[in-house]
Amino acid sequence: MPASKVVDFFLNTSKESKEGQVVEAPAFSLTKVMIVLAPLVTTIVTLVTDKVGKTDFSSGEVTAMIVALLALLALTSAADVLARGIATSAEKSAAGAKAAAEARTQVIPLNPTVAGQLVKDGPDEDVKIVAMSNASPPEFLVLRADDTLSWHPVSSVTL
C-alpha cells in the first residue's frame, strides 16, 4: 500500500471510508491506530517480560491486565468517536453559517426604521424593521424590545 493510501486510511479521507460513514470530518482516527498498535505493544511486552525474567502472575493479575488493556482500547475508541463527531458537527455548522451569510448578498438598511409585528403563536410581538435582504425567501432584520437583532422571513413579519 503506497504511503498516501496509508495516510488516507488513518485520516479517514479514502474513498472507502467516506462512503456511509456518520462521522465525516477528516480527523485522525485513534481507533485505527490503537488496533494496529495493540498487537505490536503486546508482542513487545511479551518479549521484554521474557528477557527480564520468569515472572509468575496469578490468574487475578492476568485478568486485571487484560481488563485494563480492554478498558484502554474502549476509552480510546470512545474518545476518538466523540472527537470526530464534534469535528463533524463544527464543520457542518461552519458550512451552514457560511451558506446563510452568502444567501444575503444585498442588505438594504431602512432609515428611519419601520414599525412592524413579528407573527408568533399567541400575541404578536412589536418590532422595528431595520433592514431587508434579497435572501430567498426575502428577509427582514428586526429589532426586538430586548434590543436583540434577528433575521425573519417576510411572511412572518407584518407592517
Domain-by-domain residue ranges, the chain?
3-102, 107-158
What pLDDT sits at residue 128? 93
pLDDT digits (tens, 9 = 90+) for 14-40: 665 555 555 555 555 666 777 777 788
Residue 117 to residue 120: CA distance in whole angstroms:
9
Q: Rounded to 5, what percent of the chain is helix, strand, coil?
A: 50, 20, 25
Residue 66 to residue 38: CA distance in whole angstroms:
12
Residue 42 to residue 48: CA distance in whole angstroms:
10
Q: Is pTM beyond 0.85 here?
A: no
For residues 50 and 86, the model is more confident at 86
CATH architecture of 107-158: Roll (2.30)
pLDDT digits (tens, 9 = 90+) for 90-142: 766 776 666 666 666 788 888 898 999 988 888 888 999 999 888 778 888 89
User: 141 with 130: CB under 8 angstroms?
Assistant: yes
Distance of CA 40 to the CA centre of its chain: 31
pLDDT digits (tens, 9 = 90+) for 144-154: 989 888 888 88
> Which residue matches cell numbers 456511509?
20
